Amino acid sequence: MVEGAEYLDWIGMLPANVQAAVLAQMTPLSLPAGAFLYERGSPSQGIFRINKGTVRLFFLTASGRELVLKRFHATESVGEVATVEGRHHELFAEAVTDCELSVLSFEKLAALREQYPAVNSALLVVMTRVARNALNFIEEIAVFSLEARVASRLRWLASCADARGEEV
């Protein structure tokens, strides 16, 4: 069963001076609800940190069927996997609400990773959490009964809300 919240704020894991250096390298971006941050197959434009609003990460089939993996909120970020790899995105990311974001390009991230080893450590923690969450999700769909899948997802959603300080 999935346990614990997956609150993905790698920048918040950094020491204050490194946080400030990372944030100083980010470019502001505003997106209206319904706009895509990126689509499957598109090249990485960087890591998107959510300052205000909600973003959803999902798969979309050719027939229009969706599988939402997660909703991201303020201080969380999306796009790390493609940006760290310097490759294209495997998922879709869409602004659910009007969003205020900050973007960290591949080039700026690479320079920060070289200058501050703590950036690599924080990214490693987030990548590990993403991988663990994906494995748990695969286990849920492949092994659990429908009732157990629903219960597990509800616990996970409540845990995520609790980690953000929201009432459950």
How does pLDDT run across 65-90, given as a tens digit for each residue?
888 888 899 999 999 988 888 889 99
- Total domains in the chain come to 1
Asked if residue 4 is part of any domain, the answer here is: no
Asked if residue 3 is part of any domain, the answer here is: no
How does pLDDT run across 86-109, given as a tens digit for each residue?
889 999 999 999 999 999 999 999
Asked if residue 117 is part of any domain, the answer here is: yes
Asked if residue 168 is part of any domain, the answer here is: no
> Can you give the chain as a three-state secondary structure string?
CCCCCCCCCCHHHCCHHHHHHHHHCCEEEEECCCCEEECCCCECCCEEEEEECCEEEEEECCCCCEEEEEEECCCCEECHHHHHHCCECCCEEEECCCEEEEEECHHHHHHHHHHCHHHHHHHHHHHHHHHHHHHHHHHHHHHCCHHHHHHHHHHHHHHHHHHCCCCC
Asked if residue 6 is part of any domain, the answer here is: no
User: Residue 135 sits in a domain of what CATH number?
Assistant: 2.60.120.10
Q: What is the value of pTM for the model shown? A: 0.82
Q: Is the pLDDT of residue 5 over 70?
A: no
Asked if residue 61 is part of any domain, the answer here is: yes
How does pLDDT run across 140-156, given as a tens digit for each residue?
888 888 898 888 778 87
Q: Residue 30: how many CB atoms within 10 A of its CB?
A: 13
Asked if residue 124 is part of any domain, the answer here is: yes
Q: Give residue 60's domain range.
A: 11-163
